[in-house]
Structures are given as C-alpha cells and as structure tokens.
Amino acid sequence: MVKWKMDRTYSTEEALAEAGATNPEFQCNGQFAVIREHVLCFFTVGPHLELRSPERIEWTSTDKDSPSDLVCNVYQWSQGLPVNFGPGAFSPEFLENTRSADHKRKLRQHEIFLRSLPTGRFIYAGDAHLGSYGGGKGAFSMGFTLGQKLPREIWLELGGYSEWSVEINHKEECRLSRRELERFIQLCGKAMKNKFAHIVLNRYEGDALHLYTNDVRGWLMYLRQPDDSGIYLHADGIPEQTEEFRCTCGISLNFPQHQTVDKAEAMRIAEHFFSHGSLPTTYIWSEI
C-alpha cells in the first residue's frame, strides 16, 4: 500500500512515482491525476482552493482549467443527464469517491497534496472523501473532507487561521487574534444592524460558537466539535414560547425563547468567548 508522508514534500512527479504510476490520466491542467487505485489532487491554496477548516477544503474550477464544454458536461452528468465524456472532460470515475456498482467496494481513493505557492513543493495532507460537487456553466466546485485533521504546523504553513475565523452570514469576513476584540465588535455590530444576522466563531481546535440575532433577541449554540449536537443557554422562568430568527439563505428558524437572551447580552457572551476561548460560567448551559 502506498504511504506518502506528511513530514516531507513532493513534486508531482515524486508523488506519482511513490505510487508506481507510469501512465496517469491528468485532468484540469495537472491538478488531478487518476491512476489505478487513487485520484491524486494537486492543489495550490488561493482563490480557487479554500481551506475551510483543518478538515475541510473546497476546490473551484477556473476558466483556464475548465473550458465551457467540460463544465457543461460535468453539470449534465451530475444531474443524471446523458453526456459524452470526450478527451479532457471529467469522467464519472474521476468525480465520484468511486465505489463499485453495489457500493460495497471502493475503487479509488482521493489523496490530497497542498502547497501555498504555485512554484512550491506539495505537502501530503492525507486521504479525503469527496463529499460534494456541483455547479453550473460558469464554474464547478468540489468539497473534500480529509481523513485526518491537518497538523497545526502544516495548517499554519498553508495560511490557515491561527486563532479565530469570523463568519458573518455564511461568509468568512476575517481572521482575528484575541487581541483584536474591538475589530470583532465592529464586525458584529455592523451585521446586527440588520433585522437578522448569523455570526460564527471558528478556531483550529474544531469547536465553534454560533450567534443568531433578530430585532431584540439573540440565540447561541456552542459546538464542541463539528458533528456535536450542541450546548445551549437555559433560562428558568421564561414561558415556553418560540422566538423567530431567519438565516440569510431565507430559512425561518424558531428556537425556544428560554434559550435566548437580550440582543446586547448575547453579544457580551460572544465577546467573552472571543476573549477567553470559553463560555461564561455565569449562565446555565444545557445540551437540551
């Protein structure tokens, strides 16, 4: 079994040689190499390769590596429409985290190689699951989940955030250190002037604090890891009513009112988490 190592770097040729590949099928100007048991993904961090977290990355096509017929073919295939995959086009074997027809046997495994500069050598980031793909006629994207979390030193070397990533309404606004509390307050204050807002604090450790606000109330959810069921505020003596919030994608969200606090108070809780990296103990937190 091929064993690339995270403690060394590779050129494309060296990575392929490690797998004993003599005639790889290249896609998208060499960013993907399809061999018998693997799809090797050679990505450069930048506008078209986003490190969403130490476990998740997202690749987006460019006009250079995705001629219009290629993207159209991929889109049609992803919609279940018949297409003719000609030379240079994506093939189903390349797109899928390929398994046999009965889904009992994996045919190929995606292997991720990353670098921070277009002329640099690649760091092996491990195997990955292709969890999502799609797009229209203008661009195509793929979302990968790594089999193991990037080590912190590699994460930082590739440009990952060192402390906080602040997302507002599903968009990463900036990366901040704990010393930049005033900047964090400014960002949140601007977002919360709208009737509804959704603010998320992420960090390398994998936990996250979500804050939803409406005109007067705030609802907070703390996730200890990405697949956590969450920890929530719990206030006794509040009637069993719901409070409406709204995601910027248009989805209406109704949360128990006893899990909410005054909007300004919710912001103070978020400030405490930003500054200390932990939830304030002056509140009752519950998993239900």
Residue 83 has what pLDDT? 52
Q: Which residues contact 148 (CB under 8 A, 6 or more apart)?
A: 126
Q: Is 200 helix (H, G, I), strand (E, B) or coil?
A: strand
pLDDT confidence tier of residue 21, bands split at 50, 70 and 90: confident
pLDDT confidence tier of residue 88, bands split at 50, 70 and 90: very low
Interval 142-184: pLDDT, tens: 899 999 999 999 999 999 999 999 999 988 889 999 999 999 9
Angle, to 10 degrees, between the axis of helix 263-276 and the axis of helix 181-191?
150
- CA 172, CA 167: separation in Å to the nearest integer? 4
Q: Is the pLDDT of residue 136 over 60?
A: no
Domains in the chain (CATH in brackets) are 9-157 (2.30.280), 164-286 (no CATH)
Q: To the nearest 10°, report the CA torsion of 109, 28, 118, 49.
A: -60
Is 121 in contact with 115 (CB distance < 8 Å)?
yes
Nearest alpha-carbon partner for 209 in 54, 252, 218: 218
pLDDT confidence tier of residue 85, bands split at 50, 70 and 90: very low
- CA 196, CA 212: separation in Å to the nearest integer? 7
Residue 181 has what pLDDT? 97
- CA 27, CA 98: separation in Å to the nearest integer? 16
Most confident of 124-133, 153-162, 244-253: 153-162
Q: Is the pLDDT of residue 67 over 50?
A: no
Interval 263-281: pLDDT, tens: 999 999 999 999 999 999 9
Residue 204 CA to chain centroid, in angstroms? 12
Residue 97 has what pLDDT? 45
Enumerate the β-bridge partners of residue 260: 219
Nearest alpha-carbon partner for 173 in 149, 209, 151, 202: 202
Q: Is the pLDDT of residue 245 over 90?
A: yes
Residue 192 has what pLDDT? 95
Residue 131 has what pLDDT? 82
Is 198 in contact with 208 (CB distance < 8 Å)?
no
Residue 137 has what pLDDT? 54
Q: Average the pLDDT over 88-117 and give the result.
A: 65
The CA-based angle 275-277-281, given to 5 degrees, is: 95
Count CA within 13 A, CB hemisphere, residue 251.
Answer: 9
Nearest alpha-carbon partner for 173 in 144, 138, 197, 143: 197
Q: Average the pLDDT over 191-201 and give the result.
A: 95
Per-chain mean pLDDT for the chain: 84
Q: Average the pLDDT over 105-119 and give the result.
A: 85
b/e code 157-187 from CB counts within 10 Å (16+ = b): ebebbeebbbbbeeeebeebeeebeeebeeb
